[in-house]
Structure 1
Amino acid sequence: MKLPPLKSLPVFEAVARLNSFSLAAEELAVTQSAVSHQIKQLESYLGEQLFLRTGRSLSLTDEGRQYLEAVTTALIQIERASEQLLGEETSRLRLACFSSFAVRWLVPRLPELQRSHPQLDLSLEMTTENPVLSDRVADAFICINRPHQAFSYELLYQERMFPVCSTEYWERICRELNLDRQEGDDRINLEPAQLARFPLLSTYSIYDRAVGDWNHWFSAAGQVLPKDARVQHFSHMLLALEAARYHQGIVLTNDYMIGNRGDADEFVRLPCLPLATGYQFYFAWKTSRRRERGIQLLRRWLVQEAIADGLRGDADPG
């Protein structure tokens, strides 16, 4: 077995992660010259330049980025295997997921995860966009669709969006539209034109364009958003939902956003057509790390919670 200088690999990973020879030296408790020596030794062995040094600027070469991905995975697997043999029960995992999913659905359920699996030490990395699938970012991910062939995926949710408002605002809608709401009466069916009489709270980030969410919803209903509709714009669904909570209008949101057990009763899902966005939310992990106990514990728990909460049906494919 022909291996590179093994002492150089953690040094290379630290320099690449911290983007600094001096910070890597401080973290590894060695001198900066020792770090430089290890990197030169590794580059000499590989016959490739791993870093570009321009003045005080440091960056990975294309070869360096490719090598870092493999080295990071290998070092993590060595660490996990060693922990298992040493009998260490704690499984440390970094989970990267969308801020909206984390804040509204995952965080309120973390106490249950801790009770069920106290050996799982989970840290969250929140993102505003689909997370980059890389060991450098996290150990596991909640992402939209399946963008990377080197990863395995477990379906959590097929997104659908529907109009929501606060309970107080729903009372106002019923009064202004003269709706006869009897207890248990499910015959009310609001038309798009009726919704357009009220302020519509729009989230830019869903379709990356202004009023994209409501335009799609009206189109799915076979209509066009009226030009005189009152639209209030928000950059993120979390902000739009908060505005709805404070009785400012009607928002398009999805199941996990109103799945927060602490305040779900504050919102009313309006009797309207739902919109299937085509987005699928998956729990993702690197296939080469499929045997790691912590990843599989988290996977099973997330699937169980998604089924129990109605996000995923038992028959949904993985």
Structure 2
Amino acid sequence: MSVPFRAIHYFVEVARLQSFSRAAEHLHVSQSAVSHQVKLLESYLDKPLFVRKGRTVMLTAVGQSYFQEVVGALELVESATRNVKENDTRQVRLAIHGSLAVKWLIPALDDFRERYPNIDLTLQMLTQDGQFDSQWADCFITTQPPGTGYQRYHLYDETLKPYCSKTVWAEAHRITDPAELARFPLLSAISAFANGKPGTDWQRWFEKVSLRLPKTAKVHHFSHLLLAAEAAKYGQGIALLNEFMTTEEERKNSLFELPFHSIRTDDSFYFVYPSSTAKSPGLEALGDWLVTLCRNR
């Protein structure tokens, strides 16, 4: 029997996603087709590759060892194929959250293109963190870096600071007591903390200085930081924002930082890509540039 290459490809997707159903979605096939291919590979190897734990699947010791060797080989084939196709122009596809791209990355892209004119960078909008499909993107900016088969580089730890419009700032920047900020409408982003409840960001901000969010505080809720930032720009209150979610132009003209303490969220951002492509000139150049961009923020 010849080596079942399709089964190996399906095995790699299940191992990466730890789910037969999610692997099926990525491969655009049925879950039964994925299960069949994995069983075919296990039969070929005469060894179990997965064990089930609730709704997730985990690699066996043999499966883990096999995955580490196979995933690198598959990605080398993909990388070699792309290199032949791309000739002198290095094409790099970066997956990133849309809001982070709009506020932080896109305004800086002219500098990247000037430094690396032979790199054709394509931005892919990441809709769900933890997706690492090499058929869709070559590298990713994520808060959930995979631990196996990937290189990862720390970009920054997310910190939230109070920002507001120029009108609100004119009054609020004179305040020295953090408790008095509750006199203004507080704009809260639910997504600021994983599994956080509405208002968690402001609750933690007050708790850092041994205060409680007053029950009388007027808190307006938004699903994402981007929405809270826009509301703050229009003078609707004070928002706790990640500096990377504000542009240089906004910080000069429409979003002003108040002189108070900051808080850390649960998120750190990483630039990640498959270990097998770590020596790709395009990925190395992009990684170095991103790290420098964050350090110079």
TM-score, normalised to structure 2's length? 0.74
**Contact 2:172-2:258 within 8 A present in 1 as well:** no
The verdict on how the C-alpha distance between 1:84 and 1:235 changes in structure 2, with shifts beyond 3 A counting, is closer
Q: CA–CA distance in 1 between the matches of 2:179 and 2:11?
A: 61
What is the deviation of 1:155?
A: 1.4
**What is the correspondence of 1:218-297 to structure 2 with a 5 Å cutoff?**
218-258=206-246, 260-265=247-252, 266-297=254-285
The verdict on how the C-alpha distance between 1:118 and 1:173 changes in structure 2, with shifts beyond 3 A counting, is same
Post-superposition Cα deviations, 1:253-304, rounded to whole Å, max 9, x if no partner, equal: 012112x133221211001011122532111122222112221111011011
In structure 2, give the amino acid aligned to 1:286.
P
The verdict on how the C-alpha distance between 1:142 and 1:274 changes in structure 2, with shifts beyond 3 A counting, is same
Which residue pairs with 1:19 in the alignment? Answer: 28
Matched, 1:97 2:96: yes
The verdict on how the C-alpha distance between 1:293 and 1:216 changes in structure 2, with shifts beyond 3 A counting, is same
Post-superposition Cα deviations, 1:1-59, rounded to whole Å, max 9, x if no partner, equal: x963669989999x9655259xxxxxxxxxxxxxx9xxx999978757xxxxxxxxxxx
**Contact 1:241-1:251 within 8 A present in 2 as well:** yes
- The count of corresponding residues between Structure 1 and Structure 2 is 266
In structure 2, give the amino acid aligned to 1:217.
W
Which residue pairs with 1:139 in the alignment? Answer: 138
**Contact 2:192-2:265 within 8 A present in 1 as well:** no
In structure 1, give the amino acid aligned to 2:167.
E
Return 5+ residue gaps in structure 2 as ranges.
Answer: 13-22, 45-56
- Counterpart secondary structure, 1:223: coil
What is the deviation of 1:72?
A: 7.6
Q: Which runs of 4+ in 1 moved over 3 A?
A: 5-13, 15-18, 40-48, 66-76, 82-87
Q: CA–CA distance in 2 between the matches of 1:87 and 1:41?
A: 32
Post-superposition Cα deviations, 1:79-105, rounded to whole Å, max 9, x if no partner, equal: 432454678122222222233321210
**Contact 1:69-1:134 within 8 A present in 2 as well:** no
Q: CA–CA distance in 2 between the matches of 1:275 and 1:293?
A: 37
Which residue pairs with 1:199 in the alignment? Answer: 185
Bigger shift: 203-212 or 106-115?
106-115
In structure 2, give the amino acid aligned to 1:227.
K
- Counterpart secondary structure, 2:164: strand
**What is the correspondence of 1:86-165 to structure 2 with a 5 Å cutoff?**
88-144=87-143, 146-165=145-164
What is the deviation of 1:229?
A: 0.2
- Counterpart secondary structure, 2:184: coil
**Contact 1:5-1:42 within 8 A present in 2 as well:** no
The verdict on how the C-alpha distance between 1:243 and 1:279 changes in structure 2, with shifts beyond 3 A counting, is same
Q: CA–CA distance in 2 between the matches of 1:167 and 1:114?
A: 34
What is the deviation of 1:116?
A: 1.8
In structure 1, give the amino acid aligned to 2:164.
C
- The structure richer in helix per residue is 2
Superposed CA RMSD in Å reads 3.8
Which residue pairs with 1:190 in the alignment? Answer: 176
Rg larger in structure: 1
What is the deviation of 1:156?
A: 1.0
Matched, 1:211 2:199: yes
Percent identity of paired positions between Structure 1 and Structure 2 = 34
Q: CA–CA distance in 1 between the matches of 2:86 and 2:120?
A: 16
TM-score, normalised to structure 1's length? 0.69
Q: CA–CA distance in 2 between the matches of 1:195 and 1:41?
A: 59
